Structure 1
Amino acid sequence: MTTTEPKIGQHLEPDAGKSSDVVEMAWDPITRIVGSLGIYANVNFKSKTVEQCHSTSSIFRGYSIFMKGKDPRDAHFITSRICGICGDNHATCSVYAQNMAYGVAPPHLGEWIVNLGEAAEYMFDHNIFQENLVGVDYCERMVKETNPGVLELANRTEAPHAGDHGYKTIGDIMRSLNPLEGDFYREALHVSRYTREMFCLMEGRHVHPSTLYPGGVGTVATIQLFTDYLTRLMRYIEFMKKVVPLHDDLFDFFYEALPGYEHVGERRVLLGCWGSLQDPAICDFDYKTMDAWGKRMFVTPGIVVDGKLVTNNLVDINLGLRILLGSSFYDDWAGGGHEKFVDKDPLGNPIDVRHPWNQHTIPKPQKRDFAGAYSWTMSPRWFDGTDHLALDTGGGPLARLWSTALSGLVNTDYVQATGQSVKIQLPRTALKPATEYEWKIPRWSNALERNRARTYFQAYAAALALHFCEKAMAEVRAGRTETWTPFKVPSDAISCGFTEAVRGVLSHHMVIRDGKIANYHPYPPTPWNGSVRDSYGTPGPYEDAVQNTPIFEENPPERFKGIDIMRAVRSFDPCLPCGVHMFVGNGREKTHLHSPTLAVKPY
């Protein structure tokens, strides 16, 4: 990784003799643990739009290859290492798949503990990303560099909910988000400490759990344990009573200050959610009853197309999964004489050759070619019987809240899904009264609404954690303190686990033969959101969201930062981007000719 950034726009000097029409730009890497994300875009500075985008991943991991032959009981420990930030989500999903394969369900107390751990992970991860990473895109220093006119307006605009969060103007909110020096930025860092402690209370270690197993957990459950969790949770709930109104004010301001900003990062509503947080009263992890217990999850699974719920049946969701190769660095396994592991699911439904149960990973390294193969990321799609849909997760929370709201199945003392919204009840805390928030289905699937949903889902996870704490303490007080159920590994089995990683959909598909793993494929949100153009030429969600994004940045081309593009990409929470380098090119300039195609000439 280079430590110095080339001068932005240095190839667009006035002596070039003309203004540039279309410039090829690269932001690479936008990266974290899972893969190394790069965004390559053609920006038209005359029309102030992005005309084309390619999303790339330059790292091959190979977990699906080296899982073969392993003892299936090790699967959650191994797959936890897929990611260094949401490893517990992988461990949990793997345990779900193992529970199905072994025919075991944890005691109720064990499942409540798992739910409390996952809720803490949502609170921790969404907080640190929203406030300390994506929040920087909206801070005073960033807005001053890219949209000084917007900052000037922000300094004059009173915050509608100043009484709730304490910041008089929108400009004050932006200053509070300045990295390292902003008071809200620093407060959020502190919050990330005790939310991580909450997770460790439940599962021993973050981010690779040490007490999570198939059949339950090894956590010693006591009233004191849950009290320690609850004291931290109430501090977080009080924090959320500041965070929700603060972000509502900030994001609403951008709509008002920049008419048309709803189109930044906008794409067709194609959302996928696999559901999370099990109800142990009904969940037995049996595939044959998966539709029933899937609909009792506290985050309801669902596929939303053009704002309408297509299905919330986990069996249907599973049957529709397809892994297309398209523009990725792999050889095709379909029709190539490779073994088909699964013909039918346990209900007798036929399983497609491109389903994860039947996938073969055959890497084919090659030079990147945007006209051919250009990424290590495959193209997961959901087949609705007619089309292969390029679903996205909305960064996780947008799809989760949208699906839960439309399904209208969740109803506890603290959260209720109404069919068009999700209501969140936060009780009285030390300094603030009881408060109700309502996330309403938005008009757009865009950058600002992905970010807004992240804030509301933090409150949603906190409210659910209260419910889980009450259920867990009731089990202990009733003397039901067992947290683990014994099991035996079968000689042969097929299974799947579905949950929601922080960033969205997560599935693990496993085939066991002779007591060993014969095939194993984990699919986290990164390959869904960051997928490449598939076999039908359909771009992946990052690509689709960036293409046609309008440019509102006030800087001239020679000082262009690309903030609108970065806001679009980072709204998906692309695996906690911790390093972003922008490279304008120094090499190629694209200009329009009279033909509809783009000509490429050396600079």
Structure 2
Amino acid sequence: MTITEPKRTTQQDTDVVEMSWDPVTRIVGSLGIYASVDFKQKKILECHSTSSIFRGYSLFMRGKDPRDAHFITSRICGICGDNHATCSVYNQNMAYGIAPPHLGEWIINLGEAAEYMFDHNIFQENLVGVDYCERMVKETNPGVLERANSTEAPNAGIHGYRTIGDIMRSLNPLEGEFYREALQVSRYTREMFCLMEGRHVHPSTLYPGGVGTTATIQLFTDYLTRLMRYVEFMKKVVPLHDDLFDFFYEALPGYEHVGERRILLGCWGSLNDPAYCDFRYATMSDWGRKMFVTPGVIVDGNLVTNDLVEINLGIRILLGHSYYEDWVKSGRETFVTRDPLGNPVDERHPWNQHTIPKPAKRDWDNAYSWTMSPRWFDGTDHLALDTGGGPIARLWSTALSGLVDCGYVKATGSSVVINLPRTALKPEVTFEWKIPRWSNAIERNRARTYFQAYSAALALHFTEKALEEVRAGRTDTWTRFEVPDQAVSVGFTEAVRGVLSHHMVIRDGKIANYHPYPPTPWNGSVRDTYGTPGPYEDAVQNTPIFEENPPETFKGIDVMRAVRSFDPCLPCGVHMFTGRGRVVEHLHTPSVPVKPY
């Protein structure tokens, strides 16, 4: 178990101490959090989020064959690469004017549902769960652990842990019972994905127009046997986490303010319904609303729009305090002035973006990170939307729209109802995720648990629909296509951690411009041109400190819980670019002779 040790940069006899957690642990080590901690008021005064490596995919995508886009962009991340491949395929489907056969789309949905189950499970139980385990709480809040050991767990009869302290012990890394059980779950959920798309995390059978997977009854049976094990697991997990998270509210009054920020949530929707989705931009507003995760922009708890065309046109890329030259001020080419429906497209839209690196010394008043500042423009303000780690935005948007109803899940307008059928050892169960009062660390984590159950329930529906196709003899999974000379296209989906879009411009049959925007640039963005902090920064600023340690031994557990509740994953935000035509060579001399194969 590790917790990032903060670095202190001011005298210890002052109330305000400048601290940094760089790198933040349990993710790729290029995220840094720099904060001013007021130990007298016991809160964070100011926060800056940094990303220390340059992201360059938009540069080396230019000139490539569009058909290679999903294979290349999959490598953006070694964690959610399939989400990028899927989004790129959606993007290409629009560019080529095609849609997969229904069976092909159900297979893609089953793969993405398995990815949600796999990734949320391993992060929730084996990464962020450690922040709430016995060993961590003992180190930072021994008084809370003492109370946890004497507090009966309300759902003990369901999950099997008598006290909250027992739940915390089960989360201890490597030795905790529940921690180890979750590791086994991550194994068979990854197998589920591989059954549908060949391999994880870079799919080998996913293409524009569908998949190369051979669809058989046996294939879906193999998936379903694993899925039912996961369904049974979720019947234990949801009440366990409800007990744990509710306890923190009770044990630490005011803990709802840890990681809290204004409710500004974005969801681009995911899991298409092939009965409606034709991937045409002209009909995107309609088929977007038919997704099994409904797109939406949520402002102060209210649904502003669930129209993907409107969402697309509102995206702005502000450079703010990042290490880039402004392409608008530099007079660079504008690729798209109007979308396929004739709507005007802003010069700061991803279709028109140019990535011009401009490295500099870190300066909080000027540039301090390689992460740009994506914003959503509502006609008046550039809103710093966050994804809440993905699930809270997805469930909130789906709940408010009230459009999803497939038997296993139903959106009510104020909640999402999840029905899990009888399994080998447990009866049928119904869970209901209700829209919370806050967008904070606890509710982001709670939503991650409920969305695991939501994904499992949807996977049951997708399996039934896929089997219907096979039994009816409709076994085609791929549609032929041709690459056009000219095209403007976009793909929208939800990566595990939230919003994901791929924007592409094709000229002369090649990629002229390509910009993937995953959740990390949104959540981890820096202060923008207007001085608005990014979501990590905003969520940490004004966070109260409940840790019992004095400044000399302060760990910053409340800061880490706030940041990690977003499920930070920096590979999507950063990548290396070597410059125009430069070749980098690395010579490795092994210490022992190596025999050739």
Contact 2:277 2:287 in 1 (8 A): yes
The equivalent residue for 1:272 is 266
- How big is each residue's C-alpha offset from its partner over 1:478-508, in whole Å with a ceiling of 9 and x where there is no partner? 0000000000000000000000000000000
**1:145-294, aligned counterparts within 5 Å?**
145-294=139-288
* Offset at residue 30 of structure 1 (A): 2.2
The equivalent residue for 1:55 is 49
Amino acid across the alignment from 1:543: E
Contact 1:34 1:526 in 2 (8 A): no
What is the rounded CA distance, in whole Å, between the counterparts of 1:181 and 1:261 in structure 2? 28
What is the rounded CA distance, in whole Å, between the counterparts of 1:34 and 1:362 in structure 2? 24
* Offset at residue 20 of structure 1 (A): 1.7
One of 413, 430, 436 as aligned partner of 1:419: 413
The equivalent residue for 1:465 is 459
Amino acid across the alignment from 2:393: A
- How big is each residue's C-alpha offset from its partner over 1:357-382, in whole Å with a ceiling of 9 and x where there is no partner? 00000000111101110000000000
Choose 310-319 or 35-44, whichever is displaced more.
35-44
One of 448, 452, 471 as aligned partner of 1:454: 448
Contact 1:321 1:356 in 2 (8 A): yes
The equivalent residue for 2:90 is 96
Contact 1:133 1:576 in 2 (8 A): no
Contact 2:9 2:19 in 1 (8 A): no
Amino acid across the alignment from 1:540: G
One of 468, 473, 483 as aligned partner of 1:489: 483
What is the rounded CA distance, in whole Å, between the counterparts of 2:552 and 2:91 in structure 1? 52
What is the rounded CA distance, in whole Å, between the counterparts of 1:212 and 1:483 in structure 2? 10
Amino acid across the alignment from 1:63: Y
Contact 2:28 2:570 in 1 (8 A): no
Do residues 46 (structure 1) and 1 (structure 2) align? no
Contact 1:49 1:548 in 2 (8 A): yes
The equivalent residue for 2:137 is 143
Q: 1:210/1:112 Cα in 2 relative to 1: closer, same or farther (>3 Å)? A: same
Q: 1:382/1:9 Cα in 2 relative to 1: closer, same or farther (>3 Å)? A: closer
Amino acid across the alignment from 2:42: K
- How big is each residue's C-alpha offset from its partner over 1:33-60, in whole Å with a ceiling of 9 and x where there is no partner? 7782110001001000000000000011
The equivalent residue for 2:574 is none
TM-score, with length taken from structure 1: 0.93
One of 529, 552, 570 as aligned partner of 2:564: 570
Amino acid across the alignment from 1:363: P
**SS of alignment partner, residue 23 of structure 2:** strand
What is the rounded CA distance, in whole Å, between the counterparts of 1:340 and 1:437 in structure 2? 49
* Offset at residue 6 of structure 1 (A): 7.3
Contact 1:397 1:454 in 2 (8 A): yes
The equivalent residue for 2:547 is 553
- How big is each residue's C-alpha offset from its partner over 1:516-569, in whole Å with a ceiling of 9 and x where there is no partner? 000000000000000000000000000000000000000111110000000000
The equivalent residue for 1:64 is 58
**SS of alignment partner, residue 20 of structure 1:** coil
* Offset at residue 444 of structure 1 (A): 0.2
What is the rounded CA distance, in whole Å, between the counterparts of 1:473 and 1:298 in structure 2? 18
Amino acid across the alignment from 1:109: L
* Offset at residue 61 of structure 1 (A): 2.3
**SS of alignment partner, residue 188 of structure 2:** helix
* Offset at residue 335 of structure 1 (A): 3.4
One of 76, 79, 83 as aligned partner of 1:82: 76
Contact 1:491 1:515 in 2 (8 A): yes
Which runs of 5 or more residues in structure 2 are unaligned? 572-597
Contact 1:31 1:574 in 2 (8 A): no
- How big is each residue's C-alpha offset from its partner over 1:198-235, in whole Å with a ceiling of 9 and x where there is no partner? 00000000000000000000000000000000000000
**SS of alignment partner, residue 29 of structure 1:** coil
Amino acid across the alignment from 2:447: A
What is the rounded CA distance, in whole Å, between the counterparts of 1:486 and 1:233 in structure 2? 31
* Offset at residue 31 of structure 1 (A): 6.2
Do residues 20 (structure 1) and 14 (structure 2) align? yes
The equivalent residue for 1:591 is none
Amino acid across the alignment from 1:480: R
The equivalent residue for 1:344 is 338
The equivalent residue for 1:584 is none
Q: 1:516/1:478 Cα in 2 relative to 1: closer, same or farther (>3 Å)? A: same
What is the rounded CA distance, in whole Å, between the counterparts of 1:125 and 1:351 in structure 2? 35
What is the rounded CA distance, in whole Å, between the counterparts of 1:318 and 1:547 in structure 2? 29
The equivalent residue for 2:358 is 364
What is the rounded CA distance, in whole Å, between the counterparts of 1:267 and 1:4 in structure 2? 23
What is the rounded CA distance, in whole Å, between the counterparts of 1:5 and 1:244 in structure 2? 28
What is the rounded CA distance, in whole Å, between the counterparts of 2:536 and 2:524 in structure 1? 6
Contact 1:394 1:445 in 2 (8 A): yes
RMSD: 1.5
**SS of alignment partner, residue 30 of structure 1:** coil
What is the rounded CA distance, in whole Å, between the counterparts of 1:133 and 1:267 in structure 2? 23
What is the rounded CA distance, in whole Å, between the counterparts of 1:527 and 1:250 in structure 2? 30
Q: 1:33/1:342 Cα in 2 relative to 1: closer, same or farther (>3 Å)? A: farther
Q: 1:46/1:62 Cα in 2 relative to 1: closer, same or farther (>3 Å)? A: same
What is the rounded CA distance, in whole Å, between the counterparts of 2:382 and 2:4 in structure 1? 39
Contact 2:94 2:280 in 1 (8 A): yes
* Offset at residue 336 of structure 1 (A): 2.0
Amino acid across the alignment from 1:181: E
- How big is each residue's C-alpha offset from its partner over 1:221-253, in whole Å with a ceiling of 9 and x where there is no partner? 000000000000000000000000000000000
Contact 1:31 1:575 in 2 (8 A): no
- How big is each residue's C-alpha offset from its partner over 1:125-149, in whole Å with a ceiling of 9 and x where there is no partner? 0000000000000000000000000
What is the rounded CA distance, in whole Å, between the counterparts of 1:119 and 1:4 in structure 2? 31
- How big is each residue's C-alpha offset from its partner over 1:308-340, in whole Å with a ceiling of 9 and x where there is no partner? 000000000000000000000000011322100
Q: 1:515/1:566 Cα in 2 relative to 1: closer, same or farther (>3 Å)? A: same
One of 100, 105, 115 as aligned partner of 1:111: 105
What is the rounded CA distance, in whole Å, between the counterparts of 2:515 and 2:331 in structure 1? 20
Contact 2:11 2:17 in 1 (8 A): no
Amino acid across the alignment from 1:298: F
Contact 2:30 2:53 in 1 (8 A): yes
- How big is each residue's C-alpha offset from its partner over 1:166-217, in whole Å with a ceiling of 9 and x where there is no partner? 0000000000000000000000000000000000000000000000000000
One of 509, 519, 543 as aligned partner of 1:515: 509
Q: 1:75/1:8 Cα in 2 relative to 1: closer, same or farther (>3 Å)? A: closer
What is the rounded CA distance, in whole Å, between the counterparts of 2:10 and 2:323 in structure 1? 32
- How big is each residue's C-alpha offset from its partner over 1:281-330, in whole Å with a ceiling of 9 and x where there is no partner? 00000000000000000000000000100000000000000000000000
What is the rounded CA distance, in whole Å, between the counterparts of 1:511 and 1:32 in structure 2? 36
What is the rounded CA distance, in whole Å, between the counterparts of 1:45 and 1:377 in structure 2? 30
Deviating above 2 A after TM superposition, structure 1's stretches of 4 or more consecutive aligned residues are 3-13, 30-35
In the comparison of the two structures, how many residue pairs are matched?
Answer: 570
Q: 1:45/1:497 Cα in 2 relative to 1: closer, same or farther (>3 Å)? A: same
What is the rounded CA distance, in whole Å, between the counterparts of 1:6 and 1:50 in structure 2? 16
What is the rounded CA distance, in whole Å, between the counterparts of 1:523 and 1:8 in structure 2? 31
* Offset at residue 7 of structure 1 (A): 8.9
* Offset at residue 515 of structure 1 (A): 0.2
* Offset at residue 11 of structure 1 (A): 7.3
**SS of alignment partner, residue 228 of structure 2:** helix
Which runs of 5 or more residues in structure 1 are unaligned? 14-18, 578-603
Q: 1:9/1:385 Cα in 2 relative to 1: closer, same or farther (>3 Å)? A: closer
